């Protein structure tokens, strides 16, 4: 079975500090990886995705993530966070050759402290 693990359920960080949200996946086949952000009482918004090619992916709002195949990780980073980054972040995996299903992690709640 495929799975996505987000190691940190809550991450508090001071404003303008850097942050890393961790994500690991389990897959023996080719996988696409995604990060979504969810603000309170809203749906999910795509931050960035990795399909193939360069392992460093840049997304919206200054976020980036690096695909590391040997460590099966896809950690999300931002060098300097803002108050408006406070939200829930979900990592997801999609296997293009094995159907439609996305596998979501349990989410990481990022709280930016002023």
Partner 1 sequence: GAVVSQHPSRVICKSGTSVKIECRSLDFQATTMFWYRQFPKQSLMLMATSNEGSKATYEQGVEKDKFLINHASLTLSTLTVTSAHPEDSSFYICSARYGGSDTQYFGPGTRLTVL
The answer to whether 24 and 5 are in contact (CB under 8 A) is yes
Pick the binder of partner 1 from 44, 66, 77, 86 (CB under 8 A). Answer: 44
CA dihedral (109, 24, 103, 84) positive or negative: positive
DSSP designation for 16: T
Whole-angstrom distance, CA of residue 32 vs CA of residue 105: 14
Beta-carbon contacts of 53 under 8 Å, excluding residues fewer than 6 positions away, are: none
98 binds partner 1 (CB under 8 A): no
104 binds partner 1 (CB under 8 A): yes
* Residue 4 or 81 having the CB closest to partner 1: 4
* Residue 15 or 27 having the CB closest to partner 1: 27
Pick the binder of partner 1 from 45, 55, 68, 80 (CB under 8 A). Answer: 45
Site string for partner 1, 50-69 (x = CB under 8 A): -x------------------
Whole-angstrom distance, CA of residue 100 vs CA of residue 97: 9
As given in the structure block, the two tokens for residue 41 are: 């009482």
42 binds partner 1 (CB under 8 A): yes
Judged by the rule CB under 8 A, the positions of this chain that interact with partner 1 are: 32, 34, 36, 41-46, 49, 51, 90, 94, 96, 100-102, 104-107, 109
């Amino acid at each position: 079975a495929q799975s996505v693990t987000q190691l940190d359920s809550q991450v508090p960080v001071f404003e303008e500090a850097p942050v890393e949200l961790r994500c690991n996946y389990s897959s023996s086949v080719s996988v696409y990886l995604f990060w979504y952000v969810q603000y309170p009482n809203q749906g999910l918004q795509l931050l960035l995705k990795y399909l193939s090619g360069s392992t460093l992916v840049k997304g919206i709002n200054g976020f980036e993530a690096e695909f590391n195949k040997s460590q099966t990780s896809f950690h999300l980073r931002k060098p300097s966070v803002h108050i408006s980054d406070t939200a829930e972040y979900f990592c997801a995996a999609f296997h293009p050759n094995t159907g439609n299903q996305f596998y979501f992690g349990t989410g990481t709640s990022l709280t930016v402290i002023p």
